[in-house]
């Protein structure tokens, strides 16, 4: 088969090696964000959009990755983010290291399927070992356990210096939710200005004051034991003549028509007032006439409330969203202890607190600069996800690279008891696991060789299974005693995802690019040559006239 000079043979071993190299290049980008001393990445998209983050999933998502095989790494970072929320950098770094460990074997001519089989069996052994190592937390220590998991997830984030403050907040928020633990029942609002410690936790619902009409300022802004009515209904007077064609022979009938419209509208408002509700929220607009009417009746209203905020208010107060006002029964009206409008930074927020069965929470994040608050939000998201998982699966392992070191030792010892190629392959998988403690030490500026030697020595002794990198004192410590805890689920998921991605990349031995189809998609719809010529000369209008 003749090929043009310079064509990359995208088949067999060269293709595999090229895929591994591409993945390793991506891993090198996020490698330095791992651990408590990880560096941040500044991803520049355009003049207006600059993201500063050290969240693995965020960085991976923003990178414009062209190489088809390397996109697999983006997928595992995303899957880790959506499944457990944290450990996104670890999973990418681990996958890269597994690929790097497989590279010399492939160059020596060992078939990829043999490597895949060995890696899969090593993964199963590692998962079983994690389950054996994990420590189940007793129910009475649950609060302390959740706070420690939340603090560990924040260790490597921008808000690490405030982790005591935020870990309590995160646990309070997750503990309010019911057993289904829906993530969108925790609202995170961002308000720049102030310091991080000015962030507010609200056991209930809160949203930024919506668009308002005249008459709004006369409405009460502080109601004790409010009755809340949530609508998906427009309360705006719209003249029917805009919506329908009406033919009238007698001008006096026109007035009757207008009166009927007004009567219908006022009937709606009176039905709302008669229901006893004194806080009216709607997803659709509430016009100036209705606003004034509610102000006269000492009722509060807010229109165009975002849907997720309205759902949180319903969950907090027990209200149900109505699409009509014709039959308002007491069961659908929500109740809480207090409704108030409060100034936070430069905005005003409507807060609903003190409900008996609150199953939602809101966190208003403060801090200097939008970049800073955005990153704080990403950090909180990771921490909330971890606590949410930990609440359901209450077993932990220690962090700081200790679990990976213990798995590495266990697999290395196991590999010495088997024969053939599997021994070498499982041994290389074991060595690759050491990348996590090594990278944590490297990112902190420590001598990683020295620290790994100390860790290997500790892990070979009985009772040393929880020794990991000590960031505070540049050495090693028992990370379980230092309360660096991670839910077992996080570790299981990251090892599975990293191994699966490695096996997937190793099983690809050919890339077929359908160039013709790709070119057609890029070109878009076919244009007549004369039209294209005219477009090139002076715009679409001339082209159309010429036709």
CATH number of 63's domain: 1.10.560.10
Model confidence pLDDT, tens digit, residues 296-315:
999 999 999 999 999 989 98
pLDDT for the residue 434: 93
Helix spans in 416-523 (H): 421-432, 435-443, 448-459, 488-506, 515-523
440: its two tokens: 């944590």
Cβ pair 211, 303 in contact under 8 A: yes
Given the structure tokens 């159309």, which residue do they identify? 544
DSSP-derived pairing of the beta strands 186-192 and 361-367: parallel
Edge-to-edge strand ranges of the sheet holding 204-208: 204-208, 347-353, 338-344, 222-224
Cβ pair 442, 427 in contact under 8 A: no
Same domain flag for 18 and 112:
yes
Helix (H, G, I), strand (E, B) or coil at 475: strand
Helix spans in 217-367 (H): 252-274, 288-296, 307-317
Task: Give the count of domains, the chain.
Answer: 3
Same domain flag for 370 and 455:
no
Same domain flag for 386 and 493:
no
466 or 524, higher pLDDT: 466
Domain membership of residue 300 (yes or no) is: yes
Q: Say if residue 545's pLDDT is above 50.
A: no
Spatial neighbors of 508 by CB under 8 A, at least 6 apart, are: 15, 16, 19, 69
Domain membership of residue 544 (yes or no) is: no
Domain membership of residue 535 (yes or no) is: no
pLDDT for the residue 534: 43
Name the DSSP class of 244.
S
Spatial distance between the Cα atoms of 473 and 457, rounded to a whole number of angstroms = 18
Q: Say if residue 2's pLDDT is above 50.
A: no
Spatial distance between the Cα atoms of 146 and 386, rounded to a whole number of angstroms = 9
DSSP 493-539: HHHHHHHHHHHHHHT--B----HHHHHHHHH-S---HHHHHHHHHH-
Model confidence pLDDT, tens digit, residues 217-237:
888 889 899 999 999 988 887
Question: For residue 532, what pLDDT band results from cuts at 50, 70 and 90?
Answer: very low
Q: Say if residue 370's pLDDT is above 60.
A: yes
Q: 345, 378, 393 — which closes off a domain?
A: 393
Question: For residue 243, what pLDDT band results from cuts at 50, 70 and 90?
Answer: low
CATH number of 290's domain: 3.50.7.10
Same domain flag for 181 and 277:
no
Q: Average per-residue pLDDT in the chain?
A: 84
Same domain flag for 389 and 423:
no
Domain membership of residue 541 (yes or no) is: no
Question: For residue 173, what pLDDT band results from cuts at 50, 70 and 90?
Answer: confident
CATH number of 197's domain: 3.30.260.10
Domain membership of residue 435 (yes or no) is: yes
Same domain flag for 213 and 352:
yes
Range of the domain at 165: 139-203+364-393
Model confidence pLDDT, tens digit, residues 433-458:
999 999 999 998 999 899 999 999 99
pTM: 0.76
Domain membership of residue 525 (yes or no) is: no
Taking residues 378-401, report their average pLDDT: 84
Same domain flag for 349 and 214:
yes
Spatial distance between the Cα atoms of 150 and 168, rounded to a whole number of angstroms = 8
Helix (H, G, I), strand (E, B) or coil at 334: strand
Identify which of 157-171, 418-432, 463-477 has the greatest average pLDDT: 418-432
Same domain flag for 289 and 373:
no
Name the DSSP class of 363.
E
Same domain flag for 224 and 102:
no
Cα distances (angstroms) measured from residue 403 to each of 123, 132, 143, 321: 14, 11, 23, 48
Domain membership of residue 536 (yes or no) is: no
Spatial distance between the Cα atoms of 498 and 96, rounded to a whole number of angstroms = 8
Question: For residue 125, what pLDDT band results from cuts at 50, 70 and 90?
Answer: very high
Taking residues 385-408, report their average pLDDT: 86
Same domain flag for 341 and 410:
no
Farthest CA pair distance, the chain: 103
pLDDT for the residue 451: 92
Same domain flag for 18 and 44:
yes
Q: Say if residue 295's pLDDT is above 50.
A: yes
Identify which of 69-73, 379-383, 417-421 has the greatest average pLDDT: 417-421
Same domain flag for 289 and 214:
yes
13: its two tokens: 């071993």
Cα distances (angstroms) measured from residue 228 to each of 275, 277, 280, 320, 383: 10, 6, 6, 9, 32
Spatial distance between the Cα atoms of 205 and 352, rounded to a whole number of angstroms = 5
Domain membership of residue 545 (yes or no) is: no
């Amino acid at each position: 088969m003749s090929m043009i000079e310079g064509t990359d043979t995208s088949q067999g071993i060269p293709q595999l090696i090229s895929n591994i190299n591409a993945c390793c290049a991506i891993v090198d980008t996020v490698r330095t964000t791992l651990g408590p001393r990880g560096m941040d990445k500044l991803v520049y998209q355009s003049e207006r959009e600059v993201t500063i983050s050290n969240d693995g999933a965020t960085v991976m998502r923003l990178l414009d990755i062209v190489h088809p095989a390397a996109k697999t790494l983006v997928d595992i970072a995303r899957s880790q983010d959506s499944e457990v929320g944290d450990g996104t950098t670890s999973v990418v770094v681990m996958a890269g290291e597994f690929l790097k460990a497989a590279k010399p074997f492939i160059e020596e001519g060992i078939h990829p399927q043999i490597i895949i089989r060995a890696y899969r069996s090593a993964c199963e052994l590692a998962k079983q070992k994690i389950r054996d190592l994990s420590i189940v937390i007793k129910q009475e220590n649950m609060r302390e356990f959740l706070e420690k998991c939340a603090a560990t997830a924040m260790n490597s984030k921008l808000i690490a210096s405030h982790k005591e403050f935020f870990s309590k907040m995160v646990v309070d928020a997750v503990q309010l939710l019911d057993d289904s633990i829906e993530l969108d029942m925790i609202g995170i609002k961002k308000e720049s200005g102030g310091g991080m410690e000015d962030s507010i936790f609200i056991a209930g619902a809160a949203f930024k004051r919506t668009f308002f009409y005249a008459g709004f300022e006369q409405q009460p802004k502080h109601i004790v034991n409010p009755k809340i009515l949530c609508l998906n209904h427009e309360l705006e007077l719209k003249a029917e003549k805009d919506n329908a064609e009406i033919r009238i022979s007698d001008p006096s009938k026109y007035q009757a028509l207008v009166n009927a419209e007004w009567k219908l509208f006022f009937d709606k408002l009176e039905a709302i007032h008669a229901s006893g509700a004194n806080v009216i929220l709607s997803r659709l607009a509430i016009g100036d006439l209705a606003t004034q009417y509610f102000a006269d009746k000492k009722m509060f209203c807010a229109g165009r409330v975002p849907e997720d905020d309205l759902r949180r208010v319903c969950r907090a107060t027990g209200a149900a969203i109505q699409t009509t006002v014709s039959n308002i029964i007491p069961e659908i009206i929500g109740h809480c202890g207090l409704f108030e409008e409060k100034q936070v930074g430069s905005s005003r927020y409507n807060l609903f607190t003190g409900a008996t069965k609150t199953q939602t929470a809101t966190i208003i994040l403060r801090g200097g600069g939008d970049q800073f608050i955005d990153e704080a939000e990403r950090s909180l998201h990771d921490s909330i996800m971890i606590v949410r998982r930990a609440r359901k699966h209450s077993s932990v392992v220690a962090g700081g690279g200790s679990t990976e070191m213990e798995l590495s030792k266990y697999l290395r010892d196991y590999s010495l008891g088997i024969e053939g190629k599997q021994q070498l392959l499982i041994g290389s998988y074991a060595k690759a696991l050491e990348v996590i403690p090594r990278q944590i030490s490297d990112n902190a500026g420590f001598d990683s060789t020295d620290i790994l030697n100390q860790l290997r020595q500790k892990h070979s002794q009985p009772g040393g299974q929880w020794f990991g990198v000590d960031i505070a004192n540049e050495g090693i410590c028992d990370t379980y005693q230092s309360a660096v805890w991670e839910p077992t689920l996080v570790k299981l998921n990251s090892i599975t995802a990293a191994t699966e991605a490695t096996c997937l990349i190793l099983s690809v031995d050919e890339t077929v690019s359908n160039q013709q189809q790709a070119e057609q998609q890029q070109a878009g719809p076919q244009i007549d040559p004369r039209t294209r010529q005219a477009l090139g000369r002076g715009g679409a209008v001339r082209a159309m006239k010429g036709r």
